[in-house]
Amino acid sequence: MNTKELLGLKVKEFRKQRKLTQEKLAEIIGVDNGYISKLEVGQNFPSISTLEKIAEALGVELYELFQFTQGKEKDFRSEIIFIYDSLNKEKQYTLYRVAKAME
């Protein structure tokens, strides 16, 4: 994965943690709606001033947008909890059954 794609994933991760839609983030930082979508899939690479606006809107330091972790270094527990919390009850139960089967 290249830096543009990793940055896009990081923006998406922080945006979802803040429960912001792509449209709302775009509105906050003053870009058109499609810009965030393209950024999150690695098609756009923002300027420094846009990066600063994104970081401010997401409540993170600029450097945090570039803290990419790989594989075993990643905090899977917190990510699993985040995913679990975003699911409906039926899907939470399915995730539970999958985890139980892996024990």
What pLDDT is attached to residue 74? 60
Question: Amino acid identity, residue 53?
Answer: K
Residues 76 and 63 placed together within one structural domain of the fold: no
Q: Is the model's pTM score more than 0.75?
A: no
Asked if residue 58 and residue 13 are part of one domain, the reply reads yes
Q: Are residues 21 and 62 in the same domain?
A: yes
Residues 6+ positions from 18 with CB-CB distance below 8 Å? 58, 59
Per-residue model confidence (pLDDT) at position 70: 57
Residues 6+ apart with CB under 8 A from 59: 14, 18
| Average pLDDT of the residues of the chain | 89
Distance between CA atoms of residues 54 and 46, nearest Å: 9
Same domain, 64 and 85: no
Taking residues 38-60, what's their average pLDDT? 94
How far apart are the C-alpha atoms of 94 and 9, rounded to whole Å?
25
Taking only the tens place, the pLDDT of each residue in 66-82 is 988 654 556 678 778 88
Inform me whether the pLDDT recorded for 8 exceeds 80.
Answer: yes
For the chain, the 3-state helix, strand and coil shares in percent, each to the nearest 5, are 75, 0, 25
Residue 89 pLDDT exceeds 90:
yes
In this structure, the answer to whether residues 26 and 52 fall within a common structural domain is yes
Query: What CATH number did the domain enclosing 45 receive?
Result: 1.10.260.40
